[in-house]
């Protein structure tokens, strides 16, 4: 499973340019025996017909990741850029990136501290002051390999480290995509439709289209979520805790969980001795916000893998949380056959 995570997280798929990761998911979803298609929005829809049919349960995880888009090329060959999705500008300096379909290497830079005014050293450098250096000495040279409108993603490798931890970019939400691919290997009484959605990071756009076409009876969203169990953060602001199991959400800024599904997910974890936690904050949002409002409404529940430092080049996840999320959703789906 770690190889699956490595392949998915190292693929580039900034919001609106998910082609590379979509190709991998199409390949792997088809191998599971699912009926695979791509809608006009670019979502991958993988259908696993049930033994008896009837009820339709939707799984959702988004393929896209935060990143950048090249906005202009300066005369000296430096690239100006804009963020795509929510990125903390304080983490950008000196980060390596890959640009365009050929993955041209670059580094995010700004003028050296020696050249900054004293007032500049005491403030956060803004993204608009930064540039991407690809080693070109002129606009003409840069334009041979890069052009305005090209996407750029963090250049970061998947790395196991510490006590069963992994570091990678895009764990939000390639972890969810990997979990859906594992769940597609199972057959249930009902029809299972796994939706690998696009453009979540800029407004839950792909999920809105996918849910409209699938028209599910209920939906389970699998997400990578904020984990803030780090020094200098009060415990009441941890949101989730790494190593404590999948986080079940009762509410966030985009949706409110169906109370019965929330209770059923908790009972599933307890009945099968699967570690779990309740997400302790309502910050953020995910595809459930669009799915829940689709057509006449869809009952939804969100289960998340805690990830430190999300929306950065180096997110961190505990593999035990990842495996327990697979186990929890799998048992929950089995329970849906008798409900």
Catalytic residue ranges: 200
Phi-psi region of 53 (alpha: psi -120 to 50; beta: other; left: phi over 0): left
Cα gap 225→198, rounded to integer Å: 17
In the three-class reduction of DSSP (H, G, I as helix; E, B as strand; rest coil), residue 81 is classed as: strand
Which 8-state DSSP code applies to residue 35? E
The label of the residue with tokens 């392949």 reads 7
How many helices (H) and strands (E) would you count in the chain?
9, 17
What Cα–Cα distance (Å) separates residue 233 from each residue in 229, 240, 243? 7, 12, 17
Burial profile 227-239: b = 16 or more Cβ within 10 angstroms, e = fewer: bbbeeeeeeeebb
Complete DSSP assignment for 133-154? E-S-SSHHHHTTT--TT-EEEE
Q: Hey, what are 196's tokens?
A: 């690998």
* Residue 337 near residue 188 (C-beta atoms within 8 A): yes
Determine the Cα–Cα distance for residues 339 and 337; give it in Å rounded to an integer.
6
- Residue 192 forms beta bridges with which residues? 48, 57
């Amino acid at each position: 499973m770690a190889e699956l995570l490595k392949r998915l997280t190292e693929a580039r798929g900034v919001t609106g340019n998910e082609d590379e990761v979509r190709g991998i998911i199409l390949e792997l979803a088809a191998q599971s025996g699912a009926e695979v298609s791509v809608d006009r929005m670019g979502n991958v829809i993988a259908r696993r017909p049930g033994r008896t049919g009837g009820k339709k349960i939707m799984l959702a995880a988004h393929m896209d990741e935060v990143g950048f888009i090249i906005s202009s090329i300066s005369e000296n060959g430096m690239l100006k850029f804009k963020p795509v999705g929510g990125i903390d500008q304080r983490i950008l300096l000196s980060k390596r990136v890959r640009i365009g379909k050929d993955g041209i290497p670059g580094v995010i830079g700004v003028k050296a501290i020696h050249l900054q005014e004293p007032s500049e050293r005491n403030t956060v450098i803004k993204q608009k002051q930064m540039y991407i250096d690809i080693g070109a000495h002129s606009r003409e040279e840069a334009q041979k390999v890069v052009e305005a409108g090209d996407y750029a993603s963090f250049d970061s490798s998947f790395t196991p480290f510490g006590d069963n931890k992994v570091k990678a970019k895009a764990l939000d939400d390639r972890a969810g995509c990997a979990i859906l691919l594992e769940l597609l290997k199972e057959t249930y009484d009902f029809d299972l439709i796994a939706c690998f959605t696009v453009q979540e990071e800029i407004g839950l756009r792909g999920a809105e289209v996918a849910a409209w076409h699938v028209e599910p009876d209920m939906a389970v969203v699998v997400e990578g979520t904020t984990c803030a169990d780090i020094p200098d953060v009060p415990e009441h602001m941890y949101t989730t805790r790494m190593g404590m199991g999948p986080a079940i959400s009762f509410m966030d800024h985009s949706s409110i969980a169906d109370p019965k599904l929330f209770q059923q997910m908790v009972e599933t974890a307890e009945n099968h001795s699967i570690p779990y936690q309740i997400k302790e904050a309502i910050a953020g949002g995910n595809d459930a916000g669009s799915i829940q409002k689709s057509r006449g409404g869809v009952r939804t529940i969100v289960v998340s893998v805690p990830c430190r430092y999300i929306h950065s080049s180096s997110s961190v996840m505990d593999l035990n949380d990842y495996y327990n999320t697979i186990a929890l959703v799998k048992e929950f789906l089995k329970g849906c056959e008798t409900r």
